[in-house]
Structures are given as structure tokens and as C-alpha cells.
Structure 1
Amino acid sequence: MVCRCENTNYNKFISGLFGECVSGTTGVVSFIFGWISICCWIVSFLPQIRMTFLMKRSEALSASFILCLVMGDLFNLISCFLLNQLFTQQILSIIFVSFDAVFIFQHFYFLRPANQKESLSTKFRLSESIAYAFIVTLIINNVLWGGFHNQFGLQLQESAYSVCKTPEALSSKSAQYIIGNVMAYGSLPMYLASRPGQIIKNFKRKTAVGLSLGMFCTTATANIAQLISLFSMSQEKSYLIQKIPYILGCCLPAICDMIIVGQWCKYSKNDNRSKKLQETQMEEKNLAPQHSELTIETVDMTTVSSMK
């Protein structure tokens, strides 16, 4: 919803598109990286969901990873509504829980042998790539058009728009505030506990088959962008101390994500070697009978020649 801010130095593009008051270079930088993080989180689980669907197998993901992720997202969902967070944060929390439901369904559905059909290729087809490019282009075009259009309207008739609303502050002694903060802080250890289980499972499996590199690269990017957003907002000691749980909630998962990416790169090389070795062995087996037939035909021809 288009709205104006009380201060005069606010960014009209951001206010006109998102209805938020952001001013100053640091505020804009923090806002941009915050939205980069949000966009990464929105698409982060799609690569793994796609791969699991195409391969018809779900044993690559750790059960503890999915469980901790679900618990963390549920705590985050409850805290967003109890603490009257921004509308965008509430929508994102719903999206995360929806993806979790898909994860759970796929995990248990494809664990059953009856549903493990012949896997399809996970390579991107041209038609699929074109569809993704069209969707991204359409979204970016609408965002830019809406932002510049509303910005132009604010510049012409700023007084015609209402003042941007901010979420109502809750009393620090109210049960809603206390429970909301408990849920918010409770989600952090859940997110932290999700990665070690996946790292251990990757180490035991010694393979990257069924594990999406795109998911962990995107989640690492989302955490790093969120970290930059936090530090861009303010470098004051009091602010940073207050944000320590959120800083740790970005740093530690990002480090674990990079470890998982390293595991994927290492084990995928071994998988490629094993695949090439199997293909070579299959080719040798296929050529062996043909060689025998040629030998028999040669012997028969030699015998006939000698008889003549």
C-alpha cells in the first residue's frame, strides 16, 4: 500500500512499493540485503523439492534436518503473529511452513519402496529454463514498474497519501510479548540443530546422490545477506548486543551450509567416477558377446576354407 513517511529524507521508491519508512544510505543497504535474503529463502527449498520429485527418492535428507527445520519454522510462524511483525514477515513464515509440509510429504512418500519408481534426469530442460526465466523477468518487471509508478505519485502529491503505519508496540510485561519472544528465540536453536544431522548423514553415506547443491548454496546466501543487513543497519554496541542471537542464527547455519556444499563437491566427484566405471563395465559386457560371435564366425569360415 502506498504511504508517506513523516521524515522528509525517506526513500519514496521503498515507501511506495512496500509501505515502509527507510532513510539514509545504511538503511537502504540494510533493506536491500534484507530483501535479497528474503528472496533467497523463498526459493531455497525448491531445488531440493524438484530433485526429490524427479528422482523419486528421499533418503538423501536427514530426518533430524527436516524435524528441526519444521520446529524452527513453526516457532517463527507463531512469534510473527504474536509480536505483530510486518505483513511480509507473516507471509514468509506461512510460505516456510508450506514448504515444510511438502518436505514431510515427500520424505515419507518416497521412503516407501512401492513409490520409488524409475528416476528421471535432474538436468534442466530448455523449456523449464525458459519458464523460470519468464517468471523471474515478470516479477522484476512488476516490482520496478510498481515502485517507480508509486514513487512518481508521491513526488507529485505526497500530501494525498496517508502516513505509513507501524506495528503497535506490545507491553514488555504482557503474556503475548513474552510468549512471542520465547518462540522467536526458540526457533534459533532449532535452525542451528538442523545442519549437524545433515552433515553427519552425508559423511556416513559418502555420496551426494539425491542432495541438492542449489538448496544449500541458496540458504548460505540468504544467511550471509541477512548478516550484512543486520550489520548495515547499525554498528552501535548496544544494537549488536541485542542482535547477538540473530547474528549467531545467521553465522553458524551459513558455516554449516558451506561445509555441506564442500561435502557435495567432494562426494559428487566420487559419484561421477563410480558412474563412469559402471558405464565402462556395461560397455565391456555388451561388447563381449559380439566378440565371441565374431570369433565363432571366423572359425567357421576358416574351417570351410580348409575343407575346400
Structure 2
Amino acid sequence: MVCRCPTNDYNKFIAGVFGECISGTGGVTSFIFGWISIAFGFFSYYPQIRMNYLLKRSEAMSVALLVCWIAGDLFNIISCYILDQLFTQKLMSVVFVFFDVIMIFQHFYYLQPKNQGVSKPTTFTTVEKFIYAFIAVVLVNNILWSGFFNSFGLDVQEQKYPMCPTSPELDKSSVKYIVGNVMAYLSIPCYLASRPGQIIKNFKRKTAVGLSVGMFAIISSANMAQMISYVTMSQEKSYIMQKVPYILSAVLPSLCDMFVIGQWVVYSKMDKVKEINMRKEQRKSIEVSKQDTEEQTLEVPLNEVETCAETCAISVASTQNLEGFL
């Protein structure tokens, strides 16, 4: 919704597209990284969801990871709305819970043998790439045109637009403030407890098959962008202290995601070596079967030669006996 702000130094592009009062370099930087985080968040779980669908399996994902993720995201979404956090935080929390539900459904759905169909290649096709590029171009184009058009309207006739809504500050002694912060801090151990489950499962499986490295890379990037959004908005102590649980819940899991990515790299190399060795064994078995076939083919003529020799010898002996008789 297009709206105007009480001060004159606000960014009209942001107000014209997103309806928020953002001013100053720090505020604009925070807003940009916040939306970069949302963009990553929208697509973060998609690589794994897509891989599960194509492979018709989801055993690569840890149940502990999924359970802790949805628990942490539920605490996070409750705290964001209770404390009336930034719009980007609210939207991000909703997106994560939505994808959590999809991944949990996939996991238990594909555990049933009847739902495990024929696997398909997981590489991105040309058509897929074109569709993704088209969607990205359309979204960016709409945002840019909307921003330029509405910011021009604010420059020309600012007074005809309503004031942007502002969030009232909560009393730190109020129940709402305390409950919101408790929920925010409860999300931290949930996010931290999610990664060890996946790391342990990766160690046990010793393979990267079925695990999307793209998901962990995008989630880590989204968390780091969100952290930058927090620290660039304001450097005031009161603001930073309020954002501490969200900063920790973004930075600490990202470090664990880096470890999972490292596991994927190592196990992918091991999978390639296993595949090469398997192909060598298949070639050897094919060569051995060919040799056996050739030997069997050679044995048949030899048997025929021996039979022919015996027949010829009998014929010669019969001829000699006949000559002696005559």
C-alpha cells in the first residue's frame, strides 16, 4: 500500500512499494538485506522438496532436523507477531513454517513403500531454468515499475496518500513483551538442536545421495542476510539487545549449515569414487561374460572335429578290412 511518512527524508521508493517508512543509509541497507533474506527464504527449502519429489524418497533428511525446525519456526513466528517485529521478519517466519509442513508431509509420505515410485533425474532441465528466470524477471520488473511510478506520485501529490502505519513501542514490563521475548529465545535451542541430528545422520549414511546442498547453502545465506539486516538498522544498545535472540538464531545455525555443506562435499566425492568403481566392476563382469561366451563358442567346433575324426577313422578301418577281405 502506498503511503507517506511524517519526515521528509524517507525513501519514497520503499514507501511506494512496501508501505514502510525507511530513512537513512542504515535503514535502506537493512531493508534491502531483509528482502534479500526473504527472497532466499522463499526458495530455501525448494531444492530439497524438489529432490524428494523426483527421487520419491526422503530418507536423507533427519527427523530430528525437521521436528526442531518446525518447533523453532513456530516459536519464532509467535514472537514476531507478539512483539510486532519488522514486516520482513514476519513474512520470513510464515514462509519457513509453510515449507516445514511440506517437508514433514513428504518425509512421512515417502516412508511408505507404496508411495515410493520410480526415481527421476534431479538435474535442472532447460524448461525449468527458463521458467525460474521468467518468474524472477517478472517479479523484479513489477517491483521496479511500481516503485518508480508510486515514488513519482509521492513527489508530485504526497498529501493525497495516507500516513504509513507505525508500531507502538511495548512496555518492557508488560506481559506481551515478556512472552514475546521468551518465545524468541526458545527458538534458539530448537534451531541449534536441529543441525546435529542431520550431521549425525550424514556421518552414519556416509553418502550425499538424496541430500540437497542447495537447501543448506540458501538457508545459510538467508540467515546471514537477515543478521546483516538487524545490525544495519540501528546500532543503539536497546535495539541490539532486543534483536539478540534473532541474531543468534540466524548466525549459529549458519555455522552448522557450513559444516553440513562440508560433509556434502566430502561424501559427494566418495559417491563419485564408488560410482566409478561400480562401473569398473560392471565392465569387468561384462568382459568375463564375453570370454565365457567365446569359450563356449569354441568348444562346440572342437567337439565336432573330434566326432568327425572318430567317424573318419572308423571309415578308414572299414575300408581296410574290406580290401583285406577282397
Q: Same fold (TM over 0.5)?
A: yes
The 8 Å contact of residues 70 and 100 in structure 1, kept in 2 or not, is answered as yes
CA distance in 2, matches of 1:242, 1:182: 12
State the partner residue of 1:181.
181
Q: Which runs of 5+ in 2 are unaligned?
A: 310-326
Q: Using the alignment, how far apart are the partners of 1:122 and 1:209 within structure 2?
A: 11
Helix, strand or coil at the partner of 1:294: helix
Q: Distance in 1 between matches of 2:30 and 2:86?
A: 16
**1:37, 1:226 within 8 Å by CA — same for their partners in 2?**
yes
Shift of 1:172: 3.5
2:103 aligned partner, one-letter code: F
CA contact (8 A) 2:68 2:193 kept: yes
Stretch moving more, 67-76 or 240-249: 240-249
TM-fit CA distance, 1:301: 5.4
Q: What residue is the counterpart of 1:20 in the other structure? A: 20
Cα deviation digits, residues 88-117 of structure 1 (max 9, x gap): 544433322221111111111112233223
Which position in structure 2 is the counterpart of 1:4? 4
Q: Which amino acid aligns with 1:58?
A: S
CA distance in structure 1 between the partners assigned to 2:103 and 2:246 by the alignment: 25
Shift of 1:49: 0.6
Find the counterpart in structure 2 of residue 126 from structure 1: 126
CA gap of 1:227–1:48, structure 2 versus 1, over 3 A, is same
Q: Which amino acid aligns with 1:103?
A: M
How far 1:14 sits from its partner (Å)? 0.7
Q: Output the amino acid matched with 1:129.
A: K
- 1:266 — aligned with what? 266
55-64 vs 288-297, which deviates more?
288-297
Matched, 1:94 2:98: no
| 1:136-170 superposed Cα distances (whole Å, 9 cap, x missing partner) | 11111111111111111111111111111112334
TM-aligned CA distance change 1:178 to 1:88, over 3 Å: same
Verify: 1:248 aligned to 2:248, yes or no.
yes
Superposed, which structure 2 residues align to 1:146-225 within 5 Å? 146-225=146-225
- Equivalent residue number for residue 234 of structure 2: 234
Supply the distance in 1 between the matched residues of 2:26 and 2:94 (Cα, whole angstroms): 29
1:48 aligned partner, one-letter code: Q
Which segment drifts farther, 82-91 or 56-65? 82-91
Aligned residues: 308
Distance in 2, Cα, partners of 1:193 & 1:149:
46
Structure 1, 235-244 or 7-16: larger mean CA deviation: 235-244
Seen in structure 2, the aligned counterparts of structure 1 residues 159 and 25 have a Cα distance that, compared at 3 Å, is same
Query: Do the aligned partners of 2:34 and 2:88 also contact (CA within 8 Å) in 1?
Result: no
For residues 18 and 189 of structure 2, the distance between their equivalents in structure 1, rounded to whole angstroms, comes to 30
Q: Which runs of 5+ in 1 are unaligned?
A: none
State the TM-score, normalizing by the size of structure 1. Answer: 0.92
In structure 1, distance between residues paired with 2:171 and 2:149: 38
Q: Distance in 2 between matches of 1:74 and 1:246?
A: 14
Give the 3 Å change call, closer, same or farther, for CA 184–44 of structure 1 in structure 2.
same
SS in 2 for 1:243: helix
When residues 14 and 219 of structure 1 are mapped into structure 2, their CA distance, relative to the original with a 3 A threshold, is same
Change (3 A) 1:244 1:178: closer
Q: What residue number does 1:64 align with?
A: 64
Q: 8 Å contact 1:86–1:167 — kept in the other structure?
A: no
The Cα shift of 1:215 comes to 0.4
C-alpha contact (below 8 Å) 2:35/2:88 kept by paired residues: no
User: CA separation in 2, counterparts of 1:267 and 1:73?
Assistant: 29
Query: 1:110 maps to what in 2?
Result: 110
**Match of 1:136, as an amino acid?**
A
**Residues 240, 167 of structure 1: CA spacing in aligned structure 2 closer, same or farther, 3 A cutoff?**
closer
Larger Rg: 2
- Residue type at the aligned position of 2:243: K
> Could you tell me the TM-score, scaled by structure 2's length?
0.87
**Match for residue 278 of structure 2?**
278
How much is the aligned-residue C-alpha RMSD, in angstroms? 2.2
Mapped partners of 1:171, 1:243: distance in 2 = 16
- Equivalents in 2 of 1:85, 1:266: separation in Å? 39
Structure 2 Cα separation of the partners of residues 209 and 304 of structure 1: 54
